[in-house]
């Protein structure tokens, strides 16, 4: 008995330090693995961080500083701090006021039309579920076409003397009184650009609405059918109220697309006739790269960014209310 207890005590005295050393080694190994994983994570994420810092964070803060300076980067050696001068001058700049109005007209017109067309096309595709693959492809295909290329193609379509549209109206349909310079007339130039933009983007809007329609429970639609609701009542009283979250996403996307328009008027009209199609992004671009007034151009850019941010915050606020 005594010898057994002594042997057990000796064995425990040997095992306990051994167990402690094993546990300590395992802990050290785990710590080493964690450090290796952390260092590998830093190594692999550093290129992405460097890219973001170089092309996003640094230009953002630098341009924000430039917006408070007088800086012509061709003639001036360094920017001179000018306070709020650029921001105050913007709202007394007639060209800026004109471009703001043109941008507002474009954005509001585009918003209404693309929302209506996107919803109508989505409802049609949703109603006829079978055999719509071809039509979905046709509606989506313009998204793949670069907007600059689409603008060049439509320049040929809407040209006054040799355009396809005037040829069809005047020569094919013999309605010469309806032919006109679609891109050279003040009454039609902006509307033409809006139509081209809708052609290029309505497919994406349709996809968003289709996603919203497909998220509606079939039980709700079947219940409406059992209650005797016709197609119009089902759309107005069941489907449309259940697309509230989709309205938020599609609406803000359409507004932002309208406010950031640049390529279409630049390629199709260059802002003409006069300043009828000159938008805010064109005014910012010209001040930065035509007149080299980087301070004033960055101030204009931040004014536009604030407008875009306001709509983004509205979108976020509405989403929070919907979640609540």
261 contacts 103 by C-beta, under 8 angstroms: yes
Same-domain status, 50 and 108:
no
Same-domain status, 18 and 94:
no
Same-domain status, 120 and 31:
no
Q: What is the pLDDT of residue 127?
A: 82
Let me know if residue 40 belongs to a domain. Answer: yes
Let me know if residue 76 belongs to a domain. Answer: no
Let me know if residue 47 belongs to a domain. Answer: yes
Strand partners, 146: none
| DSSP-based three-state secondary structure for 69 | strand
Q: 294-323 and 58-66 helices cross at what angle (nearest 10)?
A: 120
Same-domain status, 242 and 272:
yes
Give pTM, 2 decimals.
0.81
Q: What is the pLDDT of residue 11?
A: 46
Domain that holds residue 23: 2-66
Torsion 228-230-231-234 (CA) sign? negative
Same-domain status, 293 and 233:
yes
Let me know if residue 77 belongs to a domain. Answer: no
The number of folded domains in the chain is 2
| DSSP-based three-state secondary structure for 34 | helix
Let me know if residue 7 belongs to a domain. Answer: yes
Same-domain status, 244 and 313:
yes
Q: What is the mean pLDDT of each run of 10 residues along the chain (324 residues)?
A: 50 53 63 75 85 90 93 87 92 92 93 92 83 79 90 92 90 88 91 94 91 85 81 83 83 87 93 91 93 93 89 71 53
Q: What is the pLDDT of residue 2?
A: 45
């Amino acid at each position: 008995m005594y010898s057994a207890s002594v042997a057990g005590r000796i064995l425990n005295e040997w095992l306990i330090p051994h167990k402690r050393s094993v546990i300590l080694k395992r802990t050290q190994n785990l710590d080493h693995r964690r450090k290796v994983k952390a260092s590998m994570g830093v190594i692999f994420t550093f290129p992405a961080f460097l890219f973001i810092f170089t092309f996003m964070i640094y230009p953002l803060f630098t341009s924000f500083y430039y917006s408070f300076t007088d800086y012509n980067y061709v003639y001036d050696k360094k920017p001179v701090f000018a306070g709020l001068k650029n921001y105050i001058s913007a709202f007394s700049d007639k060209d800026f006021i004109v471009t703001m109005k043109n941008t507002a007209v474009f954005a509001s017109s585009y918003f209404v039309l693309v929302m209506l067309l996107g919803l109508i096309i989505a409802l049609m595709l949703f109603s006829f579920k079978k055999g719509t693959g071809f039509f979905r492809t046709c509606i989506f295909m313009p998204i793949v076409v670069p907007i600059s290329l689409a603008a060049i193609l439509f320049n040929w379509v809407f040209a006054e003397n040799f355009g396809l549209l005037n040829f069809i109206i005047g020569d094919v349909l013999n309605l010469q009184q309806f032919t006109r310079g679609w891109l050279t007339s003040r009454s039609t130039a902006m509307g033409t650009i809006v139509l081209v933009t809708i052609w290029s983007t309505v497919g994406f809007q349709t996809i968003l609405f289709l996603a919203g329609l497909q998220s509606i429970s079939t039980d709700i639609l079947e219940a409406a059918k059992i209650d005797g609701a016709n197609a119009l009542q089902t759309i107005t009283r069941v489907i449309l109220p259940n697309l509230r979250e989709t309205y938020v996403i599609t609406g803000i996307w359409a507004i932002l697309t309208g406010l950031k328009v640049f390529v279409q008027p630049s390629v199709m009209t260059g802002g003409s006739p006069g300043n009828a199609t000159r938008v805010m992004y064109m005014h910012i671009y010209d001040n930065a790269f035509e007149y080299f007034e980087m301070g004033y151009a960055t101030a204009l850019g931040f004014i536009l960014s604030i407008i875009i941010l306001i709509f983004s915050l509205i979108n976020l606020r509405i989403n929070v209310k919907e979640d609540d």
